[in-house]
Chain A
Amino acid sequence: MARLETSQLDIHIGAARVCRQLTLQINAGERWAILGRNGAGKTTLLHTLAGLHRPDNGVVKLDGEALDTLSRRRIARQVGVLLQDHLDAFPASVMETVLIGRHPYLGALQWEGPDDYAIARAALHAVGLDGLENRNVATLSGGERRRLGIATLLTQDSAVLMLDEPTNHLDVHQQIRILDLLKTRSRAEQKTLLLVMHDLNLALRYCDRFLLLFGAGETAQGNADEVLTRPILERLYGHPMHALHGPRGPVWLPE
C-alpha cells in the first residue's frame, strides 16, 4: 500500500488551476521533489497532500485512509510539514519551539517528559543548534530559524516529511548539511520526503521522484531521466536551459 496517494485530484486557487485529475502514488522511503514556476501551486498542492487544504475534487489517502476522515492529531503523527514562513507574535525560546513537535503524542493535561526533551535536544543537535536552547527565537538569524523549523519537524518524527523550500535562508554548507541529514533519515527509517524546491540541481542530487507543475493544471511525474529533460524543463520554467556535465551527472543552468 502506498504511504500517500491521490486519485483524480483537482485543485484550484481562485481561477487558476494547480492540477487536473492528478493521480499520485508516493511510497515509504521515496524522496519527491515538487518543481514549478512561482505561482504554479506547489505550496497549495503540498498543503492539500497534508490535509491543510481541501481539494476541489478527488481524495488524498494516507496509508489507505482518506485524509478528511482522519483527525488533525492522527495526521500529525504521520505527516509533518515545514511551512514556507513562520509567524511569532509572542516570544518563545528555542527549546519551547522545538518541543511543540511532541504535541501530537501528548495528552491534553500531559507535560513534556524527559524523553520528549531528549528527542528535542537530539533534533537541535542534528541541525547544529546545540547550546541555543534558551535563546529567544526572535533573536535568531533567518538561517537559524529555518533550521529550528527543521528540528521541530524532526521532533515530530512523522513517517512523511513535507518541506516547503527547506533551503530558504540557508547558506551553501547548511543547504547540503540539512539535505544530507534528511536523505540519511529517509534511507535509514524509510521516511518519505516531499520537497518543494527551486534549486533544480539540489532536487536532482537529493530526490529520486519528481512532480512538475506547469500551471493551468498540467503536471508530469517520473524519475530524472523521464521528466528532467531539456525540452520539459524549458517549458516548465519558460526559460532556455543548459546542461553541463558535473561530477554527479548533469548540472542545469539557466541560459
Chain B
Amino acid sequence: MFSSKPGPMRPLLLFSGLLALALAGFAWSLASGSLEIGWRELVTALFDAESGLHARVILELRWPRAAAAFVTGALLALAGALMQVLLRNPLADPYVLGISGGAATGALLTLLFGIGGLWLHGAAFSGALLSMLIVFGLAHGRGSWTINRLLLTGIVIAAGWGAVIGFLLALSPEQNLRGMLFWLMGDLAYAGTPLTGLVVLLAGLLIALAMGRSLNILAHGELAAATLGVPVATLRRLIYVLASLLTAAAVTMAGSIGFVGLVVPHMLRLQGVRDHRLLLPAAALLGGSLLLIADTLARTLLAPRQLPVGILTALVGVPVFLLLLYRSRELHGREG
C-alpha cells in the first residue's frame, strides 16, 4: 500500500526522520542551560532516579519546559494545517481568524489587574473561546457559511482585538508592560506542565486523522467534495472548532507564537507531503521539534537572559515565509 503511493518522500522515511529530529531536539534541550549537563550525565540522569541535582534540574525544570514547547509547536502546526484547508488558503495561520487576539485580551486583562497565574491561563482560554464563538456566529450571518465571509469576519474580529490590546497596553502601568509584551510575543517561561495541551493535541490528532481523506478532498473545492460524499458543512464546522481549540490550547500555554502554524505545513508540502493523513501528524511532529529547538535557542542564546521564543520563530519564520511566498508562484499557479 505505502510502496505503491506516489510522491517523492516515502512515509516511513519521513516519519523516522521527524522522530529522530524530535528526539535530538529533546536531548539538546534537556542538556542545554546554565547548568551544563554532558550527554553521559544526561543519560544517567534520565535512567537513574538517584542521580541528584542533574536529574532534578532536568526533570523539574527542563523537561516540563521542553515538553511544553513541543506540545505548543505541535498544536500550532496542526491548527495551521487545518486552517489552511478550511480557508482553502495556503497563507492562513492559526491566528488569522482572531483566536489569539481573544486570548491575548483575556490574558492582558488579568495582567492589568495583577492577578496573573492560573487566572491568566483561564482568561486566555476564555478569550480564545469567546473569539471563536463570535466569529462562528457572525460568519453564519443570514446566508450560508462561505469561506470569504468566514475569512473576512475573522480578520475583522482580529483587527478589533488588536485595537483592544492596544488600548489595554496604553492603560497599563509601566511595570506590567514587560510581562504583557512577553506574552504578546509568545513565551514559554510560564507555560507550566503541558498536560492539558497534550490531551488536546492527542485528541485533536486522532480526530484530524479520521478526517484526513475528507480533507484531501475538501482541498479540491467544496462542491467537488460534496459530490464525492463529504458532508461539507459538518466537516467545515468540525475543522473550525478543532483548529480553534488547538490554537486556544497553544495560545493559553505560551501566548501568540507566530509562524510555526503558517510555515510548518508548507515545509512539508514542499517536500511533497500532500496527503493530509500524513501531513497532519508530520506537521505536529515537525512543529513540535522546531518550536522545541527555537525555545532552547531562546533560553540559551543570550544566557542568562531569556528571549521570548516568539521572537526567534519570527526571526526564522520571516525569511522562510518570504522564500515560500517567492516560490509559491510555481506551486499555486492555479489557485482558485
B residues 6-23 near A (Cβ < 8 Å) are 6-7
Contact mask for chain A residues 98-139; partner B; CB cutoff 8 A; 1 contact, 0 none: 001101101011011110010000000000000001100010
CB within 8 Å of A: which residues of B?
A: 1, 4, 6-7, 84-85, 88-90, 209-211, 213-214, 216-217, 219-221, 223-224, 226-232, 269, 274-275, 277, 331-336
B274 touches A90 (CB 8 A): yes
B334 touches A103 (CB 8 A): no
Residues of B within 8 A of A97 (CB): 220
A72 touches B6 (CB 8 A): no
Contact mask for chain A residues 145-162; partner B; CB cutoff 8 A; 1 contact, 0 none: 000000000001000000
- Pick from B89, B228, B334 the residue with the most CB of A within 10 Å: B228
Residues of A within 8 A of B335 (CB): 88-89
A-B contact pairs, 12 of them (CB 8 A): A76-B227, A76-B229, A87-B88, A87-B336, A89-B332, A93-B6, A100-B217, A100-B228, A103-B214, A103-B217, A109-B209, A114-B4
Residues of B within 8 A of A72 (CB): 226, 229-232
A108 touches B210 (CB 8 A): yes
Measured CA separation A91–B269 after assembly (Å)? 8
Binds B, one of A55-63, A78-86, A191-199, A200-208: A78-86
Measured CA separation A92–B226 after assembly (Å)? 19
- Pick from B211, B224, B332 the residue with the most CB of A within 10 Å: B224
Residues of B within 8 A of A86 (CB): 220-221, 224
With A72-B229, A83-B227, A109-B210 given, is the CB distance from A88 to B220 under 8 Å? Answer: yes
A52 within 8 A of B: yes
A11 within 8 A of B: no
Nearest CB on A from B55, distance (A): 40
Residues of B within 8 A of A156 (CB): 228
Nearest CB on A from B4, distance (A): 6
Residues of A within 8 A of B334 (CB): 88, 138
Nearest CB on B from A130, distance (A): 14
A91 touches B228 (CB 8 A): no
CB within 8 Å of B: which residues of A?
A: 47, 50, 52, 71-77, 79-81, 83, 86-93, 95-97, 100-101, 103-104, 106, 108-109, 111-114, 117, 133-134, 138, 156
Closest chain B residue, CB of each to CB of A97:
B220
Nearest CB on A from B274, distance (A): 6
Measured CA separation A112–B277 after assembly (Å)? 12
Further pairs besides A93-B6, A156-B228: 9, Cβ < 8 Å: A50-B227, A72-B232, A76-B227, A90-B219, A92-B216, A100-B217, A103-B213, A109-B209, A113-B1
Measured CA separation A208–B54 after assembly (Å)? 83
Measured CA separation A94–B35 after assembly (Å)? 54
A89 touches B88 (CB 8 A): yes
Residues of A within 8 A of B226 (CB): 52, 72
Residues of A within 8 A of B84 (CB): 90
Residues of B within 8 A of A79 (CB): 227
A114 touches B224 (CB 8 A): no
B229 touches A103 (CB 8 A): yes
B228 touches A90 (CB 8 A): no
Measured CA separation A96–B333 after assembly (Å)? 19
- Pick from A79, A96, A101 the residue with the most CB of B within 10 Å: A96
Closest chain B residue, CB of each to CB of A95:
B6
Measured CA separation A52–B229 after assembly (Å)? 11
With A72-B230, A103-B230 given, is the CB distance from A92 to B274 under 8 Å? Answer: yes
Measured CA separation A117–B214 after assembly (Å)? 18
Residues of A within 8 A of B88 (CB): 87, 89
One of A76, A83, A93, A109 near B223 (C-beta < 8 A):
A83
B220 touches A87 (CB 8 A): yes
With A100-B220, A109-B210 given, is the CB distance from A90 to B90 under 8 Å? Answer: yes
Measured CA separation A73–B228 after assembly (Å)? 7
A87 touches B331 (CB 8 A): no
B227 touches A96 (CB 8 A): no
B224 touches A87 (CB 8 A): yes
